[in-house]
A and B are shown apart, each in its own frame.
Chain A
Amino acid sequence: MKSFILILMLSFFVFGSSGFKPTKSTPPDVTEASCFSTARTIVINRDGEVNLDNVDTVNWLTWLCEEGHLNILYP
């Protein structure tokens, strides 16, 4: 029983220190690549291509998606 509690405490400590945040709305399969790809698609649909004018927007959109501030991957 004691070792079970110890494992439980250790798990909590490990998850807690690795930045596990259960309140975030990011779906579990959100990867860097899918956020970037969707951000790129949005800008290309709007602007025809990624260029010096809009690359900052692609990067910002990707970051928002990866950090879970904006879900652009699902309807």
Chain B
Amino acid sequence: MKMTKMKITLLTFLSLLVFETYAQKGYKVIYNVKPIDVFKDEKTYSKRVKYILEKTIEYSKKERYILLVNNNNSYFFRKARMDIDSDDKLTMLYSKLAKLQTTFNVNVFVNFQKNKIDFIRNLAGKDYYVHKDEFYNFSWDIKNKTKVISGLEAKKAVGKYYDIIRDKEFEIIAWFIPSIPIPAGPDVYFGLPGLVGEVHLRKAIVKIESIEEIDEIVRQPNFEDVMTYSDYLDFVTKANAKIKRDYN
């Protein structure tokens, strides 16, 4: 009787250990950026401007983004780089222009259990901390087309994204990996039945460069002075109207 009790205790302990390990198992995904549609009105550019744009492409190609993800959470951020994060004035210009290729948020933390997003958005040179109580709705339409990304089969999905800063709706093409059934992806582009391996944005294609398994817990970063999403929408609408009036 005593032996059976011991066996049950041991089995329970082992099960908990296995469950805990499984629960924390996740991935570190690195995405690279391929800029598109850069020289739209090439004839109108001077040599100097063309040089600036060429530098922008060069810098965009160096950009890397990291997604730490497990079944519960994901955390997305830009990988810092010594060569493009210097204080040099021109380097800062090329870096600012390069970031406009993707216009990603600075950081994005997602809680999949509670359907909540916390993100930092840099607007007009200042960081704003925002909390959103629901995921973005892309109305994803999953297609039958497949291709291989980083050795894994990916499926095509087409969605729509309303960009509040440009006040326009854009088509988003994403390729997700059903064999990694976590609804995560770069920035706010997720919500598919698998990890997003590639996403086609207005001016860039963002694609997995490498993926590795990790056992780390994805922790929520410390966000200060967080504004609600409705306050954020209100702020963006008013500030954007002022900029469009003064600059366009």
Contacts and interface: CB of A to CB of B under 8 A. Distances in A.
Q: Label chain B's interface by main secondary structure.
A: helix
Nearest to A70: B90
A46 interface: yes
B97 A46 contact: yes
Given A48-B166, A55-B124, A64 B240 contact: no
Interface residues of B, number: 33
Contacts, number: 75
B48 A75 contact: yes
Interface residues of A, number: 27
B247 A61 contact: no
Contacts of B244: 49-51
Interface in B72-116: 89-90, 92-93, 96-97, 100, 103
Interface of B: 38, 40-41, 44-49, 52-53, 56, 89-90, 92-93, 96-97, 100, 103, 122-125, 165-166, 236, 239-240, 243-244, 247-248
Interface of A: 40, 42, 44-61, 64, 69-72, 74-75
